[in-house]
Amino acid sequence: MANFSTGNLVTAQTILNDKYSKPEMRMKPCPAYALLTGNTDFMMESAAVLRTREDRPIEAHLLTRTKRATTNARSYNHTGTIDDSQKVTLTWGTKADKTTISLKLLDNSVFEFNAVLANKLEQCMMNIVEDLETATINYLLAQRTQFSAALKGATFNAATDVTEITADSKNQFYQLVKSVMKQNKYKGQLDVIADSLMYVSAEYQAAQGAGNQSNLAFQFNGLNIAESIELADANYPAGIVLAMPSQTTCALTWIPKQNRNGWGDYNSYNGGFGTISDPWGLGLTFALHGYAQRSDTSATNGNTQDVTMEFEVSLDTSFNKAPLSGANSESVIYELAQVA
């Protein structure tokens, strides 16, 4: 290979798709992150345009709800209060991973240059997405509600901020999930992230349809359930779920303008900026930065007179939930647990 250009990255993306099924390149499932990134357009469609640089803040505004007691009669001199709005300042975090390859490294190897480059870039993206799945779970748990209305059929534990469902109600767990959300004035479709225990329970109960002696399938209407293999709460070994009204949580993603537009040359000392898309259908576009430099790679199966190419893959993410006014630490995210 005489030269290295952005055309090689197009080839790399094709190779990524073809070899993703190889067991060695298996990746931790990322249903929570996929769920939140899928709500991006609903929450803040223009965030990528508004954030022109990493240090530019973005504020999201919305009207607040003012709760008042009504009166029992009309009056001629009624006066009201001027309602208010609130704003949320979006916070961002960056995840980045780097890799390197040299021009002559593979001249004496069974592996072809583009295949190795594809593998290296794929692993960078995998490492970022796996870390972002963990960050998503941590965010949702940290942002769960610390307040609940008085409940029937379940108990809110203020010490753990978890809604507990007794073992006697195990077969009605998901129906009670919907009931708890309704009792907190949330209706409609719910997004549910279940740990492995509760997901298995959901699959089993959903299979108990009208043809069975005990029909349990009715309770899953209106629930969008995804399994997270790392969701857990040590206080509730029998299993937990996170429930929230559909499209009220999101993960906004962003990369710099120079990457989106393309700039420079990866094969130069100053380098270049570009993008690379994930091969798993998540719809993620990562920032790619690369540059070349003179190197002696003879100690690593290269050559005394070689060129090393350094690459960094990165992605900025902002986790958000629908804000609620009030002083009671209420959130749209609920943790519900099956009590053993």
- Specify the range with the lowest mean pLDDT, choosing from 134-148, 154-168, 253-267, 318-332: 318-332
Q: CA angle, 307 as apex, 304 and 308 as ends, to 5°?
A: 110
pLDDT at 261 over 80: yes
pLDDT at 16 over 60: no
Structural domains in the chain? 145-250+326-338 (3.30.2320)
Q: How confident is the model at residue 333 (pLDDT cuts 50, 70, 90)?
A: very high
For residues 203-227, average pLDDT: 77
Per-residue pLDDT of 120-149, as tens digits, reads 999 999 999 999 999 999 999 999 999 999
Distances from the Cα of 267 to the Cα of 6, 82, 132, 296, 322, angstroms: 9, 60, 30, 17, 44
* Distance (Å, whole) CA 43 – CA 131: 23
| DSSP strands (E only) in the chain | 59-63, 85-89, 93-102, 155-157, 162-165, 190-194, 223-227, 240-245, 249-254, 263-264, 272-277, 285-295, 306-321, 334-338
User: H-type helices in the chain, by residue range?
Assistant: 7-19, 31-37, 40-44, 47-50, 113-142, 173-183, 196-206, 257-261
* pLDDT value of residue 106: 80
Largest CA distance in the chain: 93
Per-residue pLDDT of 170-183, as tens digits, reads 999 999 999 999 99
Provide the whole-model pTM.
0.83
Per-residue pLDDT of 59-70, as tens digits, reads 665 555 556 676
Q: How confident is the model at residue 219 (pLDDT cuts 50, 70, 90)?
A: confident
* Distance (Å, whole) CA 268 – CA 68: 65
* Distance (Å, whole) CA 35 – CA 57: 25
The strand pairing partners of 156, in sequence order, are: 163
* pLDDT value of residue 115: 82
